[in-house]
Amino acid sequence: MLDNDTWEPIHTVSAVSGEVLMAPMLSSLSRWLLSLLLLLGLPLLGLAFSRIDIQPYLEFPPLTRYVDHAPFSGWAFAIFSLLDLLMAIGLVKALRHARRHVDHTTPIPRNACIFPVWGWLGVAIMLVGWLLAWSRFSWFDPLQAHTFCMPWAGYIIWVNALCIRLSGRSLMTDTPLRFLLLWPVSALFWWFFEYLNRFVQNWYYVGLEGFSSWEYFFHASLAFATVLPAVLSTHRLLLTFRVVNTGLTSLTPLPFVEGPRLATGILFIACGGLALMGRYPDYLYPLVWAAPLLVFTSLQTLWGHQTIFNGITTGDWRAIIASATAALLCGFFWELWNYRSLARWEYVIPFVDRFHIFEMPILGFGGYLPFGLECLFVGKIVIGNRHLMLPAPDADGPTV
């Protein structure tokens, strides 16, 4: 059953007869199908109307580079720098407000626990995986192209252990079955972004040229399965800090963000952008990260359901800031561990492809912020808001 805060329940049981009523299930499924149809179909439909050959965009494995990207532009770099700077200023101001709102950030030992033994195992797996990814040991040659999962598996274990240490709780231990389900969902989730990238080709993979289609799909899916567990575990870790979990509950409210008129306008803009993305990839590539969130949340608003932005209508920014920051933190480690790996990704970003941190142009890190919100959206569906968020503590609460 889907989380009630996100969509309708898949089914409802009659209080009189116990009969499963199918109408809500069909309604919910039809809404999912409509959302996915828009996100998957509009880019292809745009290519068809533009009379662009669709075949290269459906190549698998996606090895051919067929998009000619625009060169560096100082003006575009300045504009995107200003946007990133405004986001950074907003985040700093929010955290400064939070620190003033919270008297202390020292650990409160009441619910804190000893760092679990399995957390040290996670640290060991993470460090060994990093070493193997960046080294070229001859005895490890057969597996050298498959090192992505190891440091991330260790990272996920380590972060959940830190959550136990600081708050006595973690996603991995609070809801183990849903946390396990998060892994295959994560693979599907990232494959969708791989699909959208076919229309803009902002990143591509090297070191995988000898893989068959099935080998590529299998090994890529294993790597993609770590994305949501990593981001959402980091999101939960940030919520164990009092400055986040208490201080961010009384920021400026934005009650207009869930209005139907705004949602309708955003939906039309996002759908139009998706349809034109393959035609104008140099200008619309940011929609790879923005459009899925805009389409889903706009439809949720129009259908009368809560969105991930519901909290900020009353000034509660915890979920938004924690998830965006979590994705940015994970993004740093993604780029770090990718940098010297044999099988890795590289970037071609129109207009702003300068001043790299590892392989990523510095302004590209701004894309991790909306990506974190998309992780939050899926996390609320799979994990549920009750498990994903920690309750805001009182003055004597357990978090730090």
pLDDT for 118: 95
pLDDT for 3: 55
pLDDT for 143: 86
pLDDT exceeds cutoff 60 at 5: no
pLDDT tier at 88 (50, 70, 90 boundaries)? confident
Cα 247 to Cα 235: distance, rounded to the nearest angstrom: 16
Cα 187 to Cα 157: distance, rounded to the nearest angstrom: 18
Cα 74 to Cα 261: distance, rounded to the nearest angstrom: 36
pLDDT tier at 359 (50, 70, 90 boundaries)? very high
| Average pLDDT score over the chain | 87
Over residues 268-279, the mean pLDDT reads: 95
pLDDT for 365: 94
pLDDT tier at 17 (50, 70, 90 boundaries)? very low
**237 contacts 300 by C-beta, under 8 angstroms:** no
pLDDT exceeds cutoff 60 at 80: yes
**292 contacts 192 by C-beta, under 8 angstroms:** yes
pLDDT tier at 400 (50, 70, 90 boundaries)? very low
H-helix or E-strand containing 108? none
**279 contacts 47 by C-beta, under 8 angstroms:** yes
Residue positions counted in the chain: 400
Q: 3-class DSSP state for residue 389?
A: coil
More confident: 29 or 373: 373
Structure confidence by residue, pLDDT tens digits, 165-183: 998 899 999 999 999 999 9
Cα 128 to Cα 154: distance, rounded to the nearest angstrom: 9
pLDDT tier at 1 (50, 70, 90 boundaries)? very low
357: β partners: 360
DSSP structure class, residue 141? G
Lowest mean pLDDT among 23-32, 68-77, 191-200, 301-310: 23-32
H-helix or E-strand containing 117? helix 117-134
Q: Which two tokens stand for residue 354?
A: 């300068």
pLDDT tier at 115 (50, 70, 90 boundaries)? very high
Over residues 197-205, the mean pLDDT reads: 95
Task: Using the structure block, give the residue that is written with the tokens 């409509």.
Answer: 34
pLDDT for 145: 84
Lowest mean pLDDT among 18-27, 249-258, 305-314: 18-27
More confident: 63 or 297: 297
Q: Which two tokens stand for residue 58?
A: 């459906």
Structure confidence by residue, pLDDT tens digits, 231-244: 999 999 999 998 88
pLDDT for 100: 82
More confident: 241 or 102: 241
More confident: 398 or 54: 54
pLDDT tier at 354 (50, 70, 90 boundaries)? very high
What are the backbone dihedrals phi and psi of residue 19, each rounded to the nearest 5 degrees, phi first?
Answer: -70, 135
50: β partners: none
pLDDT exceeds cutoff 50 at 76: yes
Instruction: Please tell me which of 12-16, 100-104, 234-238 the model is most confident about, judged by mean pLDDT.
Output: 234-238
Over residues 199-213, the mean pLDDT reads: 89
pLDDT tier at 256 (50, 70, 90 boundaries)? confident
Over residues 361-384, the mean pLDDT reads: 94
